[in-house]
Structure 1
């Protein structure tokens, strides 16, 4: 039992720290990288060592693939900006205010164009300006100052990437799978909210917020997929490509959009007695499948099979076929008929995509991946 401290206990603090493990590891890596960059700068003796520390902090991302991308972008922008800034400093006089203003425009405009065309060069205009108008009253020539600037950035990149690689490294694929697990859980929450509204007809106040959280998680997943691909291209990882899992989760989201549109209003009274229990069975089986998949993605275990979902879907389809054979559906308004068949189509497509999601997850387990989440 935790020792109380006001309203906070030691056990609650430990639980909070455990839930923020990834964030705390990132804090540690950023701190180590900045300290290492500072020590390295003091040993090398560069003129503006703070830039090495700043670069190490910028380079340090949540995953190794993210750190590599940040390092490449930082280096590309620095090289372009330093070369152009040094050239303008040597070729364009800038002793007075007017001349300096003209030189700044000439230095910044082309590098800003590079930055507009590619985010990789977003630091190029800043670097060009720093080289053109150095701070601190440095006595170095423009060319020497440019070399010094590149050296500072390179030192920070080495410190940042080195720490990302060797100090509690986080692989992008694992971050991607955590996001995928979160999306699967949110999809389960969304399906529960949709079918509740379909049965009760009391509106869907929670649906918009769930959709917003799904969109945010999808963005995180997409970024992690890109970073995982970069890790494989640079031979920093031999993980299985997680992109098929991400692609399937997008299809599951599309299926839920179809189901959401079909369940915007309460189930027609003519079919509700016959379809209510089968629909609740399909809902429960799909939710169990989604939550089980989320658990499997986190634990690197095989996802659950679809036997329960398939059985519940078969019962639901049989109930609809019985309504059609009995003439109930023919007596309904065309709009209502369209909705209930769209709902059936959505669940059938969801079943196909859940099966694909299970197979893609099983591939990850069978081909193996380090369980270092």
Structure 2
């Protein structure tokens, strides 16, 4: 019984790490295949091809393309310039080597500081001046061999990312976006519970905000890689940028809702608004969780009718409260808190409508791509 429980726990943990396991498999296959190819062709510096294949193989195809392009450009620039310095500047003596290193590193380091895509260039240039093989076979031959082997590693890394349990950046972006939306549901629940004098704990708010920021950054990074896949005609997925913009607008709305929910409402207001506010909280959380599920599965988004009905009911109660006699006895700031919340939710409704439209578009394009 103990063994079965342990096996079940291990299987559950492994199942939750499928993306990481796939990446580990791709990296292993890429490094091994690149090494085997270099041995087959007897390349003198073949280890660079294996190292490059490992470096280039990223979590998604778009990420692999970015790493391959940057490593190739940096290697080409560093090998060409470093080989030129090695050929023209005598560096047999320590003083000559120091001068060659200065002449070789500074321009390449400046290039990398201006264009980060060339950040590997200074490393390559320095290697061109220092490698034992470069001293033995000559700087020009060493430069040609290094570029050829880095190119081979780039090709192997991208091909493995394309065909070995491939992970499209668009899929990773959808998963990250779904994570953002589901965390937003938890944030809404915390904010409105604070407003209803049903606090879930300030520590929970302090914990969830960093998680949302991290998920947004992950979604944005995946969107950049997905855009690169689209530009390379490796996918027919829709432009990811509108979804990311919408997620940030929703994030801004939640900040406004949080400000309006910073302190509980007075008891007299809660007596009137409590039921409609609880209904609005519950329907908002349900809608966001359903949208998150739709993003994960690329299925049509849910109907927002019940959420909009709950929002209308809350706004109606708010308007009736305005004309209620006892509202005149309340401090303006506390009563204005209610209308600030209503305004924030109205902006939230507009951006959620946009989020639903983006989810619908992604579902349609995803189904069309799968059918094709």
- Between 357-366 and 327-336, report the one with greater CA deviation: 327-336
Matched, 1:31 2:28: yes
Q: Secondary structure at the match of 1:165?
A: helix
Q: Decide whether the 8 Å contact of 2:31 with 2:50 is kept in 1.
A: yes
- Between 172-181 and 336-345, report the one with greater CA deviation: 336-345
Matched, 1:49 2:33: no
TM-score of the pair, normalised by structure 2: 0.95
- 1:178-197 counterparts in 2 under 5 A? 178-197=175-194
Higher relative helix content: 2
Structure 2 distance, partners of 1:42, 1:59, is: 20
Structure 1 distance, partners of 2:282, 2:303, is: 14
Counterpart among 53, 75, 78 of residue 75 in structure 2: 78
Counterpart among 218, 221, 225 of residue 219 in structure 2: 221
Q: Secondary structure at the match of 1:271?
A: helix
Structure 2 distance, partners of 1:45, 1:327, is: 91
Structure 2 distance, partners of 1:75, 1:157, is: 7
Matched, 1:293 2:264: no
1:212 aligns with 210
Q: Secondary structure at the match of 1:368?
A: helix
Q: Decide whether the 8 Å contact of 2:133 with 2:142 is kept in 1.
A: no
Q: 1:305–1:201: structure 2 CA closer, same or farther, 3 Å change rule?
A: closer
CA shift at 1:28, angstroms? 0.7
1:15 aligns with 12
Counterpart among 56, 63, 78 of residue 59 in structure 1: 56
Q: Decide whether the 8 Å contact of 1:194 with 1:204 is kept in 2.
A: no
- 1:328-367 counterparts in 2 under 5 A? 328-367=326-365
1:127 aligns with 124
Structure 2 distance, partners of 1:17, 1:201, is: 37
Structure 2 distance, partners of 1:181, 1:137, is: 51
Q: Decide whether the 8 Å contact of 1:201 with 1:265 is kept in 2.
A: no
Counterpart among 189, 196, 199 of residue 199 in structure 1: 196
Structure 2 distance, partners of 1:38, 1:176, is: 32
Q: 1:19–1:371: structure 2 CA closer, same or farther, 3 Å change rule?
A: farther
What is the root-mean-square deviation of aligned Cα atoms in Å? Answer: 1.7
Structure 2 distance, partners of 1:178, 1:313, is: 28
CA shift at 1:93, angstroms? 1.7
2:90 aligns with 93
CA shift at 1:297, angstroms? 0.8
- 1:238-277 counterparts in 2 under 5 A? 238-277=236-275
Structure 2 distance, partners of 1:111, 1:306, is: 55
Runs of at least 5 residues in structure 1 that lack an aligned partner in the other structure: none
Instruction: Count matched residues.
Output: 369
Runs of at least 5 residues in structure 2 that lack an aligned partner in the other structure: none
TM-score of the pair, normalised by structure 1: 0.95
Structure 1 distance, partners of 2:370, 2:175, is: 12
Q: 1:338–1:106: structure 2 CA closer, same or farther, 3 Å change rule?
A: farther
